Every structure is written in C-alpha cells, then in structure tokens.
Structure 1
Amino acid sequence: MNETKETILVTGAGGNLGRLTIHWLLENYDGPIIAATRTPEKLSDLADRGVSVRQADFDQPEKLADAFAGVQRLLLVSTDALEVPGHRIKQHSNAIQAAVTAGVKHIVYTSFFNPEPGTANLTAGDHYSTEEAIKNSGLSYTILRSNLYAENLLQSLTHTVATGQYAAAIGEGKIAYVTRKDCALTAAAALASSNTDKRIRNVTGPEALSGYDIAQILSDIAKKNIVYMPLETAQLVGMYESFGVPNAVAQALASFDTASARGEYAQPSTTVQELTGQAPTSLKPFLDENYWKTVTVC
C-alpha cells in the first residue's frame, strides 16, 4: 500500500469503529495519528501508545477548527444522533466546515449503503446530505458506503436460538453483511493512503444472504433447527416498541428491513479486498466465532 506520512485524524475515536481504526493505524502507519473525541479522558490508553488525543464535539462548531488544526487527512465517522431529525446532518456539516477552515486536504467518510433519494431506509438521507456537503466542500474525498453490520445479528441471537425462529421483515431480500472490523480496516487503509481521488466505494461482505440462509447458518452453529419467520414491517415496529424504543426510532430501525426486502443491500463489492489486501469476513465464520460469546444458555 502506498502510504503518506501526513498527519491523520480519526473522529469518534472512543467508539467501536473508531478504536478499531486507531488500533490498525498503530500497527501499520508510522505518521502522526490524532484521536478526536468528546471525552479525551477515556482515551488515555491510546495516549500512552503515542496517539495525540484532542477534544472534539460536533455540537460545538466554534471549537472544531482548532481540534482539526494541522491535519491533512481526516476520517469523519458518522454519528448516531437519530432521535432529532436533522441533528446528525447538522453535526456532520459542522465537522466538514471545520475541516475546510482548518486546511484539511482529504476526508474519508463512513457513509451507508445505497443512500440516494428513493431508498426505503429512513435514516439514509442524513448520509446522502453529508455526501453532498463533502462533494461541495472543495476537498478530495473517499466516501465509504458500508452495508449492514454483521454485529446487528448478535443483538437478538439469544432469543433466536431460544425460540428456534429468526424473525425479520426482509421478505425474500438478501443482505451482503459486513463486519465492523472490516469496515474499520477499510477506513483506516483509506485514511493512511496517499490517494487524493474523489471516490465513492461500497463496503460489504463477500456474499449476499437471505433470511433462509441466515436461519440455516444459525441452525448449523447452534445444532438445532432454526427457521426463518418473515414479519411485516408493522410487526417489527411493534416489537421494537415493546422493548421501549420510541416510535420514531422504531420506524427508522424497521426501515432497514424494508430496504433489505426491496433488495437494496444485496450487492457484494470487492472494496475490502482492494483497499486492505485482505478478503472480507464471511457471515458464517463470524457468527461461529461470536456464538458462545453472545448466546446465554439457560
């Protein structure tokens, strides 16, 4: 990989993806690394390893340019501010403007798969608006459109195994699930690269799988029969609400399944292999590795 020794910065460095990105950079990049977070005190372990830690809050735009000072390449990790419409795009816009003011040359952005207008995913508009803001910023960019995380399946794994039913509202649709680690390594590789093209890349796992495929994989791993139970979107919303999720958030979460049912997330890509030099992780070995870490056996 052709690398630059420019100063690079990772936003959201205290989150799961941010930390995975920093860890890869510490092993593979010998230029200056900056970790930006709202809570610098929580990243003392990274500071001990030579990472410069800076405070950065996207809701405090007046301070962001200073946080990004001296940075040439910046990884903008999308936030999870979903409850208030428009909040996330405002946060991202603040970060992009600060990057321009600070003299950043290249932005790597963790977007989402197929965010264009017309998608059934109710949260995708924030990503599309952010992409447009980046394109209009005058900076070069790498936009990484990540597919659904394989980790999403772990959240209901205990219930799925206990009931023998994998319930989802994805209909006959297929999904090219990608692991968070593969997304982080891809983002790290793009950040450490000297590439200054304006490019958009899809980030996925190696194969697209249906609800029936996932049920069969779980059957093999759990060594019991698990069947796929298709739900209507309204049923899924009701399930989320029964767990205490507000209706607006429940609708947003369920829209991922609606988009999946329409085939929006079924196209595998080769981006992980091309940018990292490593093949993306398949879903079966990922679930096999995480099964006993996740499932509570009664």
Structure 2
Amino acid sequence: MSDKILVTGASGQLGGAVIRHLLETEGVAPARVVAVTRDPAKLSALAGRGVDVRAGSFDEEAGLTRAFAGADTVLIVSTDDVLTPGLRLRQHLAAVSAAKAAGAGRIAYTSMPSPEPGNPVLFASDHHGTENAIRASGIPHSIFRNGWYHENLMRSLPAALASGNWYTSAGEGRTSYILRDDIARAIAAGLARPDAGNATYTLSGTQAFTNGEIAAMAGEVLGKPIAVVNLTDEQLAEGLKAAGLPEPAIPLIVSLEAATRAGVLGTVTQDVERLTGREPSPLKAWLEANRGVLAG
C-alpha cells in the first residue's frame, strides 16, 4: 500500500487549505500528495512543487476511480451544490464507490455536526447518507464534522451593520463558529497522523455564541451597534423573499436558523486542539482582522 494522501476539491478553498497544511504544517513531501480537481490547469503552482495533480469529476465515477488509483488515503471534500435535490449525495456515493474500487486504505470525509435524522438543515441528510456509505464500505475511515466557518458571517454581518438590524429566527440558539483555516489545519493533521481504526471528529470553536452575543461583539469591535430582531421562521422567509433572495435558497437559510435554534450547531469539542496541538482562533480575533471588509 502506498502512503499517498489524495484530496478532492483541491482547487476549492477548503481542499486547497488542507493541501497547504499537509505540505507546510505537517511537512508531508509533495510527492505523497495527490490533488484532484475538475481543471488541473488551476493547480499548476502545486504541480510545480511536485504535487501529483489529477483530473477528476464527482459526476463521472469511472474517472474518479482512475484519479484515485494508488492513493492510500482519500479525502472526499463534500461538494457545494446544496440546492439540487439528490445531486450532492449521488456525487458523494460515487466518490465512496470509486475509493473502494481504487483500493484506498482509508476514506476521509468532510461532514457537518450531528447530521443524523432530526437535524433541521436541509442538506444534513446528504452528509448522513455519505457517512453511512463510508461505514458500510468496510474501509477504515476518518470523518471530520466541520463546524460553521467564521467566514459564513460575511453573509449576514455586513447587511446587519449597514442597516443596524440583524433579522433572525435562531432565537437563543448558539453556533460554535471556527476559522476555515483552523478546520483545514485539523484535517491535515488527521490525514498525516491518523488515529488507528475509525474516527469521527467534530471540529468546533472553543465557545458557542448566540446571534445576540455575536451582534454585541461585532458592535464593540466595529463601533456600530446592531439590534437583533427575532422573527418566526415564516416571518424570516417572507422577509428574505421581499429582499429578493432566490426562491430555492430561502428554505435552506430558514433551515439553518432552525438548526441554530435547536442547538445543532452549538456543539463545542476539543478535537481541533487534540489534532493540532493548538486552540482554534477566537471569533473576536476574526472580527478584528476583517473590520474593514465587514464595515464596508
């Protein structure tokens, strides 16, 4: 069995960061790293460093099997189409099947916190189905249940700062936000130095916050007060529609708010520190670092 570590979605933000940490933080030799992407031309810089860059599409299982050939560990970075019913799960199942056909010795996967039935997030079932397929494959696995990125707040905070109001139906629910790069660092550590057997990690920040607490923190850092306006899910959906959001996206956004309210996204663990030896960066530090972008 080879010792090659393969990363899908290598031209994406998370996949690219995982590869960077494999090379620069974990000291993995470039020749051991395989980067799979739809468009290898985008990764010419990695190829120039000695990384094995291969073409592969989640929509073509046979091609994935060829791309995965010779890899010991295959990291399946979850795909990003969350609005087309069934597509994401089909893509993930194709990747699991391809990893098995290619003879992978370990499958790793980027999931989400608590994807089991009962999670209100509309795409949670995609992750649950993929995790089940990985377990059913009989191949040793590492599942990384990624918390919500600090960067996701770019979707809500700028508008809240501009208007002075944060419209939400999350109530007093909490979210354990974490920097995307801290997640990538933890995944790279788990790939380079895997636990024996099977492992499931929940990668979270060190603290979970309500939207009200985040608004107060952001207001303090940015010098602009934000009032949290609590709505029902129905009122939020109506407001999003009036604001011109695409119809398919509205139920998804509301489901995220419902999940926050239910406590699904507020789990706090020490898995990041255990994997990397360091605590993840606090939310306040991210707010301070992005003061200019958030304030507009």
TM-score band (shorter)?
over 0.9
SS of structure 1 residue aligned to 2:144: strand
Q: Which runs of 5+ in 2 are unaligned?
A: none
Farther-moved stretch of structure 1 (16-25 vs 163-172): 163-172
In 2, Cα distance between equivalents of 1:241 and 1:39: 35
Map of 2:119 onto structure 1: 119
What is the correspondence of 1:34-73 to structure 2 with a 5 Å cutoff? 34-73=34-73
Map of 1:129 onto structure 2: 129
Contact residue 107 and residue 141 of structure 1 kept, 8 A: yes
In 1, Cα distance between equivalents of 2:45 and 2:233: 43
Map of 2:180 onto structure 1: 180
1:12-64 per-position Cα deviation (integer Å, ceiling 9, x unaligned): 01111011111111112334101101111111111122211100101011111
| CA displacement at 1:242 relative to structure 2 | 4.5
SS of structure 1 residue aligned to 2:156: helix
Farther-moved stretch of structure 1 (77-86 vs 33-42): 77-86
In 1, Cα distance between equivalents of 2:90 and 2:245: 24
Say if 1:243 and 1:184 are closer, same or farther in 2 by CA, change over 3 A.
farther
- Corresponding residue to 1:15 among 4, 12, 30: 12
Percent identity for Structure 1 against Structure 2: 38
User: Are 2:248 and 1:248 aligned?
Assistant: yes
SS of structure 1 residue aligned to 2:248: helix
Contact residue 108 and residue 187 of structure 1 kept, 8 A: no
1:217-238 per-position Cα deviation (integer Å, ceiling 9, x unaligned): 0111111322222222223333
Q: Match of 1:112, as an amino acid?
A: M
SS of structure 2 residue aligned to 1:184: helix
Map of 2:151 onto structure 1: 151
Map of 1:25 onto structure 2: 22
SS of structure 2 residue aligned to 1:247: coil
Q: Match of 2:91, as an amino acid?
A: Q
SS of structure 1 residue aligned to 2:290: helix
Q: Match of 1:283, as an amino acid?
A: L
CA RMSD between the two structures: 1.7
Map of 2:237 onto structure 1: 237
In 2, Cα distance between equivalents of 1:181 and 1:67: 26
Q: Match of 2:105, as an amino acid?
A: K
| CA displacement at 1:5 relative to structure 2 | 8.1
TM-score by length of 2: 0.94
Say if 1:242 and 1:56 are closer, same or farther in 2 by CA, change over 3 A.
farther
Farther-moved stretch of structure 1 (280-289 vs 239-248): 239-248
| CA displacement at 1:83 relative to structure 2 | 2.3
Count of residues in correspondence between the two structures: 293
Contact residue 54 and residue 67 of structure 1 kept, 8 A: yes
Contact residue 2 and residue 70 of structure 2 kept, 8 A: no
| CA displacement at 1:294 relative to structure 2 | 3.6
1:230-260 per-position Cα deviation (integer Å, ceiling 9, x unaligned): 2222233334444554433320222011010
Map of 2:163 onto structure 1: 163
Contact residue 74 and residue 191 of structure 1 kept, 8 A: no
What is the correspondence of 1:189-268 to structure 2 with a 5 Å cutoff? 189-242=189-242, 244-268=244-268
Q: Match of 2:93, as an amino acid?
A: S
User: Are 2:270 and 1:270 aligned?
Assistant: yes
1:124-148 per-position Cα deviation (integer Å, ceiling 9, x unaligned): 0000000000000111111111122
In 1, Cα distance between equivalents of 2:155 and 2:255: 17
SS of structure 1 residue aligned to 2:289: helix
Map of 1:103 onto structure 2: 103
Q: Match of 1:56, as an amino acid?
A: G
Map of 1:295 onto structure 2: 295
In 1, Cα distance between equivalents of 2:89 and 2:240: 25
Say if 1:243 and 1:215 are closer, same or farther in 2 by CA, change over 3 A.
same
In 2, Cα distance between equivalents of 1:210 and 1:254: 16
Farther-moved stretch of structure 1 (92-101 vs 173-182): 173-182
TM-score by length of 1: 0.93
